[in-house]
Amino acid sequence: MKINRRNFLGAVGTGTAALSLEALGATTTFHLPADETMGTNVTAEGNKVVILLAHPNYAQSVANRALIEAVKGLPGVTVIDIYAAPFTVETYRQPIGEASTLVFQFPFHWLSAPSQLKKWCDEISGGVAELIKGKKLLVATTTGSEYGAYRSGGRNLFTLDEYLRPYQGLANHSGMVWQTPFVVYGAMLPTARASIEAGAKSYKEIIQSLL
C-alpha cells in the first residue's frame, strides 16, 4: 500500500507528515514489557521494518501505545523496546541486518527524544554501522502540544522538522535514506482521543507502505 504522506499537511507547508487536531476535519519476540507481544514475520516482498521504541514509561503511555498496537501484528514488523532490551550491539545486529527500514519511535520529550535513544545512537549505532547503511530511517513521534506550538512564531519557536535535524544528520552521516517524519500532535490535550486514533490509523498505513 502506497500513500502520499504529504497529504496530511494540507496547507501546513512543512516537510513533516503531521496528524494534528487541526488536520482532522514464524515470530521472534524481543525483550519487551511483560504484557506485550511484539514480533516479526517475513513478508512476501522480503522487506522488514524494525521499530526502536524509546519510551521511558511505556506502561503508562496512551499515544505511543496506540501507535504500537496499530502495527505490532503486521507481518514484517519487529518492535524493540530499547528501555527493556539488553543494551548490547548483539541485541540489534540480526533484526537490523534483516530490515529494510529502521524507525525511531518516541514521545517528544523536552524538545528532543528520551535519553535512551541518544544513548543508543552514541553507543550502539556505530556497532551496526555497516548494517544500517542504505536502509530507510523514519522518525515517528508524538507531542503533548498542538501543531501551532511547533511553527515559526509559535510557543516553541521552531518546527518539528527543525528539532529533528540531528536525526536527519545521523541518517546522512550513516548513509541512510531519510524519510518524512511522522508526527501526532496534541496527545496531551483534552480532545486528544480523535487525534491519537487517526494517528494510529495513518501510522499503520505508513508502516505498510514501507513493507
Environment class of 159 (CB within 10 Å of its CB; exposed 0-12, middle 13-18, buried 19+) = buried
SS3 105: strand
- The answer for residues whose C-beta is within 8 angstroms of residue 29's C-beta and 6 or more apart is 37, 38, 39
Q: What does the radius of gyration of the chain's CA atoms come to, in whole angstroms?
A: 16
Contact criterion met (CB below 8 Å) for 13 and 64: no
Q: Which cell numbers hold the place of 115? A: 535519553
Q: Which cell numbers hold the place of 103? A: 524507525
For residue 126, count other CB atoms closer than 10 A to its CB.
12
Q: How far apart are the first and last CA of the chain?
A: 8
Give pLDDT, residue 191: 85
pLDDT in tens, the chain (211 residues): 443 333 332 222 335 555 443 343 322 223 344 344 444 444 445 799 999 999 999 999 999 999 999 999 999 999 999 999 999 999 999 999 999 999 999 999 899 999 999 999 999 999 999 999 999 999 999 999 999 999 988 999 999 999 999 999 999 999 999 999 999 999 999 889 999 999 999 999 999 999 9
| Among 12, 31, 23, 48, residue whose Cα is nearest residue 196 | 23
Q: For the chain, which domains are there?
A: 5-209 (3.40.50.360)
Give the DSSP H/E element, type plus range, for residue 43: none
Environment class of 122 (CB within 10 Å of its CB; exposed 0-12, middle 13-18, buried 19+) = exposed
